[in-house]
Amino acid sequence: MLNIRTVAVIGSGTMGAGIAEVAASHGHQVLIYDIASDAISRAIDGIRQRLASRVTRGKLSADAGSQILGRLVPVTDIEALSAADLVIEAASERLEVKKALFAQLAEICPPQTVLTSNTSSISVTAIAADVHHPERVAGLHFFNPAPVMKLVEVVSGLATSPEVADALCELALNWGKQPVRCQSTPGFIVNRVARPFYSEAWRALEEQVAPPEVIDAALREGGGFPMGPLELTDMIGQDVNFAVTCSVFNAFWQERRFLPSLVQQELVLAGRLGKKSGKGVYDWQGDKPDVQWVESVEDSYSPMRVERRRDGVTEIDDVYLIETQGETAQALALRLNGPVVVVDRIERDVAVIAAAASNPHTATQKVIRYLQQQGHRVVQIADYPGLLVWRTLAMIANESLDALQKGVASEKDIDTAMRLGVNYPSGPIAWGERLGWQRLLTLLENLQRYYGEERYRPCSLLRQRALLESSYES
């Protein structure tokens, strides 16, 4: 494996071309196979343009660029792939297509040829089922754009040889990538653990909790994510994102945590696929709407008495300001017999709040004034349990622990995958340690009680970690 000279890439779309560029840039002869010769020509032209851009910017010498192009060999006869030491399939995301293709490759290629798929969610075990020597079949999942993104998921099916997985990890390192190892389960690491980031945003939109620009700003500014979930689905393509969600949902036997969104389905049916079609959640042909921050509350009120209690509650005169733990402001107001405003997690200068319906207007205004005095921009949303950031973080951390408990990947690889694959500001398990497992457990239990749904069921490993955390503190 470590002496791979020739790499074959099947499929000359965006991912196939990017993978071919990576392999050629690291000295391999690359056979680019596609049933359409014009598609191969377009792929090589695209690589040529990217290399020329790097030469212009001084990132690559003209001679090195020419050598990379010289290693790209267009192939329209699949029999020619018998010369490859490694095959990377980046074709249609349909199981029946992949199974037929890999069975054909097993007949063409010698037994020592390693056969891999760039699939993002299809079972590697299923792909290898009809292959002679299935131990040589693995997943090698790059992220788009392949020449730029560091992460590669090395996926082992039921029959994949550990030596093959080891060698693919070493090859990825030699290509300047960061490999993570995982077992073949729906969505692998990234496309499984990332589902709540999208699904919680869609649910908030469905329930008309806030406009899309507010939901995105909360996760971006208050959660520290590089992009909000709704704008990210517009960038990915609503059809692509929806298809992955449906694939994971069905592969998990309709597990409610992965339930697709009817709102997203409507966008797909309407052809509003996001940036590539001009419209999605947002109109990309016009100006993106601005967040309507609460106007500054004038200092016309008398001085406020502020008491920060040890339990995390801030009393502002007769008003309770409480960081959300998954209950509505109204439920808390009834229990505490007083006005309540709940606030989402604040990491930067954005404060997302919700007020109890029974609050006097002046009570909510006091809280807004207090938060603005602390330097926060304030936006008010509907009284929504868990608000936007906290419930999303809790669901991501819960999904990460579920994947860890079920042996999908190691704790380190899960955190690495989410940082490098989707640019999360922190690995979700490391994040959970900092946020507090007991806090996350309480929030999810409150959400499950409120909705009466399995969707918010805490996994048993979260319960174990919360218990250990409590015993350490005591």
**Distances in whole angstroms, Cα of residue 46 to Cα of each of 13, 23, 40, 275:** 10, 15, 10, 20
The catalytically annotated residue of 25, 117, 118, 120 is: 120
Residue type, 71: R
Strands 306-308 and 178-183: unpaired
Strands 350-355 and 377-380: parallel
The catalytically annotated residue of 191, 261, 398, 446 is: 191
Q: Cβ(131)–Cβ(102) under 8 Å?
A: yes
Place of tokens 């009834």: 334
SS3 of 266, please? helix
Rounded to 10°, the helix 238-251/195-206 angle is 110
The token duo for 341 is: 């405003």
The token duo for 347 is: 């990491």
Confirm whether 191 is a catalytic residue: yes
Alpha carbon distance 371, 348 (integer Å): 12
Alpha carbon distance 384, 215 (integer Å): 12
Alpha-carbon torsion, ordered 347, 349, 354, 359, to 10 deg: 130
Query: Which residue from 146, 138, 171 is spatially nearest to 26, judged by alpha carbons?
Result: 171
CA 98-168-24 angle, 5° bins: 85
Helices marked H in 252-344 — which ranges?
262-269, 329-336
Alpha carbon distance 193, 303 (integer Å): 46
The token duo for 398 is: 């819960």
The catalytically annotated residue of 121, 141, 184, 376 is: 141
Alpha carbon distance 350, 444 (integer Å): 23
Place of tokens 């995390």: 312
Confirm whether 66 is a catalytic residue: no
Beta strands in 294-453 (DSSP E): 306-308, 314-316, 319-323, 340-343, 350-355, 377-380
Alpha carbon distance 314, 29 (integer Å): 64
Alpha carbon distance 397, 441 (integer Å): 10
CB neighbours of residue 407 within 10 Å? 10
The catalytically annotated residue of 25, 117, 118, 153 is: 153
**Residues designated catalytic:** 120, 141, 153, 191
